[in-house]
Chain A
Amino acid sequence: MKTTINHLYSSILFFSSILLLILFVILPGCVDAPNPIGAEILPETDLLLLKQDTLYATSHETRFFFSNNSSLDKFCVGKFQSYETWGLLGFFGLPDSLTNVRVLNASIRLKAAYHFGDSASNISFRAYRMVTSWVGDSLTLDSLRNFQSNYYDATPLQLSYSGAIGDTDYITIDIPDTSIVRQWLATVNDSTQYNYGLLLEPTNSSVIMGFASYYTLDTASMPTLTIEYEKDGEVQTYVHYYSLSRFLSSPTPTSASFSTIIKDSSEFFYAQNGIPYRGTLTFDVSSIPNPSNINSGFLYLTLEPTRSLSNNYMHDSVMVTQLNSDGTLSYPWISLSSVTTDSLGNRVYKIDIKKGIAYWIRKYYPAQIVIFGYGESSSFDRFAFYGSQASINLKPRLEILYSTR
């Protein structure tokens, strides 16, 4: 039996070796890369059919969207036209080594980083002591105004500023009544928190100023709290850098024009930075077959310049993302605009949203988008776009290139 198996094994090896030698003669020259040979054999229908379609927005809207800007590199305060912005600034994490010192002087230094409105006009604001935390997401300027006692002490502090500020100026705001600073220092270790920072209410009317926050990349631009104190008979200075800040904006309560512009226009929709308001558009993509591959899909939005507002700090771009059917955002995709000019000289924003369209035709998401400014959280520019009721040359449109079989 063993001899037989050896015979079988030898036979297999012998003949397989012959086979391999033959194959090695044949195999050289074989290709595995695709090539044009036989292309004519394939039916025309195997080629993906490329189709183009233009779809226009069926409806538009402008909506308020809550935005938390507390981790931004700037915070703002001021008023301009129909916009009003209140600043919140808190110096936290003060050292317990200064608990019992005698405070001689205190001041806050801020560095200008942005303006919206008339940069030459005065900015003025007064300060209040906040009595509760303000880092939560749901805080709005309206809630601050309407429920004042829940948020801040209505008695203004002896801490204010008034004057024109250059675009890169530092300003120093003295705190003549140092009692609030003393209280901050004295209660560092208390279980009941006293230091909730400051609320800065604008009292000017022609400019909104932005100041560098703790999150600015330039350490020298951070807000600082400087405390001059006496300890053991020696006068010393302490500079505190760590702070939190944010700003709350809304239309001024008396501004009817804002409501008129933002909410009541049937011909336009808006992306209003700072507050913020965002534009929404709805499309009907049922004419695009499912399945198909979306090869390109561009959204074109035409700007109406007289209703738009901008300044030299403007991020001249808008962003677009998915709007869910319940009005929330889930960001399955997000796109940034580029800008072109149409034959009539209009400024046209072009946004690549092919990923979104691919989701729509597969019915993963509704064919709805939201448009917002690239600098939504850090500026107050306003983009006014022609809406779904505008003439066909101006209304929002999707130019789609897709392939199907």
Chain B
Amino acid sequence: MKKTSLLWIIGFFLLSQNSFAGGSSYSRYGKGDILYFGGSRAYALGGCGIATIGNNYLNQFNPAGLSRLLITQFSGSFENSTISSSTQNGSSKYNTFGIQSFFIAIPISIEDGIALSLEYTPYSQVAYAIRSTSEQAGYLRTNTFYGNGGLATLAAGLSLSITNDIHIGAKVVYDFGRTEQYIKTDFTNSDILDTEIEHSYGYHGFGSSFGIIVERIGKHLNIKWLEPLTLGLTFSPPLSLSTDYQAYYPTYDTTITLQSGYSDLPLSFGAGMSYNLNKSYILVSDIQAQQWDRAKIFGQPEASLRNSIRFGIGCERVPNRQETSFWKRSSYRVGAYYHSTYYDINGKGIDELGVTAGIGFPIRMLGKLDLGFQYSTRGVTDQNLQKDSFYRISLGLTVNERWFLKFEED
């Protein structure tokens, strides 16, 4: 036991050391790579979960999905992502490690489907490290670019069951963060002072998100085979983030605010379905879209962005929830997704195609441990673009706790 603990601690430390690294150059644009995280379960189901609801499930996509929660749940997730980027001139491999989410949901009234949620979830990530050489006005120079930072979301949500089958929810979100680009220019001519500048955009602002889930669609439509069907919708109105654009000059230890104003987080819309084939299988599918082509920053259109659409499907099997066998009570998940990302670089849209898998391990009385894997490719090597291959591993732990609820004594 002690050796295993030591391995775990050392491993975590090593991973933390690798948390700084380069990454995909695409994250230079917009707000960086948008992270679609709807919970550890959805992670392994092709990123789908808008219409998923259950008494032991934290739905982070749709606030209405907490209505059937029976017990307070805490969830924390971490992801290690290894990226292999290749261009026509070569390839490189990077690694990043970080938090995916911290989430807590507390049922206030089980009868009314009222549950309160609080969450911290990274929204986007910027990570790249690039070195290039160039010549201008006869001066040869090496340019080094480091991109880092990103946006994160703090949210408080509330769910409510209107009827036994219809649930609604809403979230108040606070998006904040800073994306940075550090540039260092080294001149071969020693008479010329090397240049260091750190440009950054700081964002913050309040927004909202709404969701609805309708269960047993077939029952309402009088179509028997559609009875196990559940539909869900999410909607986030466009949001104006207060934005400042700063330049920091390390040589002079001076920070100058170049511009202040607003930037857009555009309208986003999601629709999903889940279908219980029998007690063992559930099929899920989602579509999420975000209107980035009209997004502006300081009144000007954001460069190289287009509307994004993400489509995913997934399937989960739990052999037998009532079994005492650990493996039969575990959840086995697979999925796939296609993501037409919001990047539109060099006149070409950047698309991502991925497959997912995962296992959810029950932990007696306390919760569950979710392990998820994703493999995806993004972009092409034509047109001076790059192709990224992502190997992602996610580890999520959900712990149950009884808060506020009164249980009748025997």
A binding-site residues for B, Cβ under 8 Å: 4-5, 7-8, 10-20, 22-24, 26-27, 29-43, 46-52, 290-291, 293-296, 354, 358, 362, 401, 403, 405
A-B contact pairs, 29 of them (CB 8 A): A13-B5, A15-B369, A15-B371, A16-B8, A17-B8, A17-B11, A19-B80, A20-B7, A22-B393, A24-B11, A26-B95, A29-B93, A31-B22, A31-B92, A35-B131, A36-B130, A36-B131, A37-B92, A38-B25, A39-B25, A41-B345, A42-B25, A46-B145, A48-B143, A49-B136, A293-B251, A294-B193, A362-B254, A401-B139
Chain B positions within 8 Å of A22 at CB level: 393
B247 and A291 within 8 A (CB): yes
The contact of A32 among B4, B18, B196, by CB within 8 Å, is B18
Give B118-153 interface residues, CB cut-off 8 Å to A: 128-132, 134, 136-137, 139, 141, 143-146
A32, closest chain B residue (CB):
B21
Given A32-B129, A50-B137, 19 further pairs, Cβ under 8 A: A7-B366, A8-B399, A13-B5, A17-B7, A18-B371, A19-B395, A26-B391, A30-B18, A31-B22, A35-B130, A37-B87, A38-B85, A39-B131, A41-B386, A43-B303, A48-B185, A50-B141, A295-B194, A401-B139
Q: How far is the CB of B144 from chain A (nearest CB, A)?
A: 5
Chain B positions within 8 Å of A5 at CB level: 366
Chain A positions within 8 Å of B395 at CB level: 15-16, 19
Q: How far is the CB of B9 from chain A (nearest CB, A)?
A: 10
The contact of A50 among B7, B87, B136, B258, by CB within 8 Å, is B136
B binding-site residues for A, Cβ under 8 Å: 1, 4-5, 7-8, 11, 15, 18, 20-22, 24-26, 28, 80, 82, 85-87, 89-95, 128-132, 134, 136-137, 139, 141, 143-146, 181, 183, 185, 187, 191-197, 199, 247, 249, 251-252, 254, 256, 258, 303-304, 345-346, 361, 363-367, 369, 371, 384-386, 391, 393, 395, 397, 399
B25, closest chain A residue (CB):
A38
Chain B positions within 8 Å of A41 at CB level: 25-26, 28, 345-346, 384-386
Q: Considering the chains assembled together, what is the distance between the CA atoms of A403 and B364 in angstroms?
A: 62
Chain B positions within 8 Å of A48 at CB level: 143, 183, 185, 195, 197
B379, closest chain A residue (CB):
A41
Chain B positions within 8 Å of A16 at CB level: 8, 11, 395
Chain A positions within 8 Å of B21 at CB level: 30-32
Interface SS, B side: strand
B130 and A34 within 8 A (CB): yes
Chain A positions within 8 Å of B199 at CB level: 405
A46 and B183 within 8 A (CB): yes
Q: Considering the chains assembled together, what is the distance between the CA atoms of A51 and B134 in angstroms?
A: 15
A33, closest chain B residue (CB):
B129
Chain A positions within 8 Å of B134 at CB level: 47
Q: How far is the CB of B2 from chain A (nearest CB, A)?
A: 10
Q: How far is the CB of B43 from chain A (nearest CB, A)?
A: 14
B21, B130, B251, B303: most-surrounded residue (chain A CB, <10 A) = B130
B386, closest chain A residue (CB):
A38
The contact of A295 among B85, B193, B363, by CB within 8 Å, is B193
B393 and A19 within 8 A (CB): yes
Q: Considering the chains assembled together, what is the distance between the CA atoms of A30 and B80 in angstroms?
A: 12
A354, closest chain B residue (CB):
B193
With A32-B94, A50-B139 as known contacts, state yes or no: A291 contacts B256, CB within 8 Å.
yes
Chain B positions within 8 Å of A43 at CB level: 28, 303-304
Chain B positions within 8 Å of A31 at CB level: 21-22, 92-94
B385 and A293 within 8 A (CB): no
B248, closest chain A residue (CB):
A291
Q: Considering the chains assembled together, what is the distance between the CA atoms of A206 and B95 in angstroms?
A: 79
Q: Considering the chains assembled together, what is the distance between the CA atoms of A50 and B140 in angstroms?
A: 11
A7 and B130 within 8 A (CB): no
Chain B positions within 8 Å of A14 at CB level: 4
A13 and B4 within 8 A (CB): yes
Q: A-B pairs with the 5 shortest C-beta distances? A: A38-B25, A41-B25, A20-B11, A40-B384, A34-B129
Q: Considering the chains assembled together, what is the distance between the CA atoms of A86 and B87 in angstroms?
A: 77
